[in-house]
Amino acid sequence: MNPLLGLSRTLWPAHLKPLEDELLSSWLVRLSMAHGTKLHTFCSVVWPGKQIWNRDIDKSADASIVQTLSDKTAVSRTAVADTTLAAYEGILYEYHNSYGNTLWIMPLGIYHRTHTQFGLQFCPRCLAEDETAYYRRHWRLAFITCCTTHSVVLFDRCQKCRAPVNFHRDEMGTRSKYTSSSIVRCYACKADLREDIPKSSLSPSDPNVQAFQIALAGTMAQGGIEIPGYGPLYSHLYFAVVHQLMRVLAMGNRSRTLREAVNDSFNLNYDPMQSIKRVRYIEHLTVNSRAMLINMARCLLEEWPQRFIRICTETKTWSSSLLKDCESAPFWFWSVIHDYLSRTSYSPSDQEILSAVAYLQKLGKPLSKKAISKCLGVNDAFRKRKTKVRFDF
């Protein structure tokens, strides 16, 4: 019997339920396997004309996809939506961007239905111990760098050929193959992602990173956190600051002094320059680099705000760096920076400069930018000046 015929029923013949914290794409692969159907054929029959695998379906699944899965598997619409990354909206960040960059969500870099970037992590021991192997939704998050169950650093690529995880492409290129033989196989070299791993690659996770990751997971689950002196806050207002601190720490040479200070003060034993080049998105960094940054952010957030103020003051890390590219800093973060770490230079007005010019002319002294600035008691009265007044001297 053609398995595709059953897809038109009210309920699919194999209406598997999503497993705990399962990622939508992982669930879709398991559903197609359960029906003995090639994945892309399965999706084209269920959603004719809709693009599924040439985009990040975990980010971009729309209401019709969610509704169909709910109807055909007898799973509540809420439970289906919870397999998508959009469910983090209001928890990790304020607004979800289905087709662009979103805080904390690591990109897959999809090109011709293939992942070219390392946006999906995995724990080989979790996959090995699963009765049914599957990929967790939280493995797509940038602050997740270790498995708190097995205390190991996560992987984001095949350890044999270094290819990104593309579990949905195992069936591709084989006409007679109607199901993915294994969701844990590297699509490029066919290595088993659970077993074909050198022992030297199984690195134990840092206990402090692991503890902080557990705390962050608790903040997500509660949807809020208590900040000393500011009371309870929505969780996304806390995660916005964690993200900003990681981004500041990742500013290449510009933040080297800050990284070195945190590293030395708390004996973190990192190389402050390890693989850290100036990046716009921390979501593009490797697992080890993100683990270092999340650990340093933890150190800056503990004993808030005294420790943060002290270290930033000692390293001369001022508001211009701390708020760089931060569109809307949460008040509990902004107020500390404004009150203690703001070093905005005084800019004399046009009238003050004209008065200084007149004063120097009266004394018969030569006019120059340096002389006028010295007269006004500033280093450079003309720095980044926006004025329609013309000063001739």
Q: Residue 80: which domain range?
A: 3-201
Of 140, 172, 201, the residue that ends a domain is 201
Is pLDDT above 80 for 218? yes
Q: What is the mean pLDDT of the chain?
A: 88
pLDDT for residue 286: 92
Range with top average pLDDT, 5-19, 159-173, 213-227, 242-256: 213-227
Structural tokens at position 107: 């990109």
pLDDT for residue 389: 56
Least confident of 199-208, 303-312, 379-388: 379-388
pLDDT for residue 177: 55
Is pLDDT above 90 for 6? no
Tell me what the mean pLDDT of segment 158-186 comes to. Answer: 76
Residues 160, 40 share a domain? yes
Sort residue 234 into left (φ over 0), alpha (ψ -120 to 50) or beta: beta
Prior bond of 198 cis (ω within 30°): no
Residues 191, 228 share a domain? no
- Residue 384's pLDDT band (boundaries 50, 70, 90)? low
Residues 331, 352 share a domain? no
Residues 366, 221 share a domain? no
pLDDT digits (tens, 9 = 90+) for 242-280: 999 999 999 888 889 999 999 999 999 887 555 566 677
Structural tokens at position 41: 């054929």
Residues 305, 161 share a domain? no
Tell me what the mean pLDDT of segment 31-36 comes to. Answer: 90
Residues 248, 181 share a domain? no
In angstroms, the CA 347 to CA 376 distance is 10
Residues 336, 191 share a domain? no
Number of structural domains in the chain = 3
In angstroms, the CA 328 to CA 330 distance is 6
Is pLDDT above 70 for 178? no
Of 161, 181, 201, the residue that ends a domain is 201
Residues 70, 177 share a domain? yes
pLDDT for residue 305: 96
Residues 241, 171 share a domain? no
Question: DSSP E strands: which ranges in the chain?
Answer: 110-111, 114-115, 146-147, 152-153, 224-227, 231-234
Instruction: Identify which of 388, 348, 390, 389 has the alpha carbon closest to the alpha carbon of residue 372.
Output: 348
Residues 332, 290 share a domain? yes
pLDDT digits (tens, 9 = 90+) for 347-371: 777 887 888 888 788 888 888 888 8
- The residue whose two tokens read 């034993």 is 269
Residue type, 280: R
Residues 268, 186 share a domain? no
pLDDT digits (tens, 9 = 90+) for 75-134: 999 999 999 999 999 999 999 999 889 999 999 988 777 888 999 999 999 999 999 999
- Is this structure's pTM higher than 0.75? yes
Of 201, 232, 256, the residue that ends a domain is 201
Is pLDDT above 70 for 299? yes
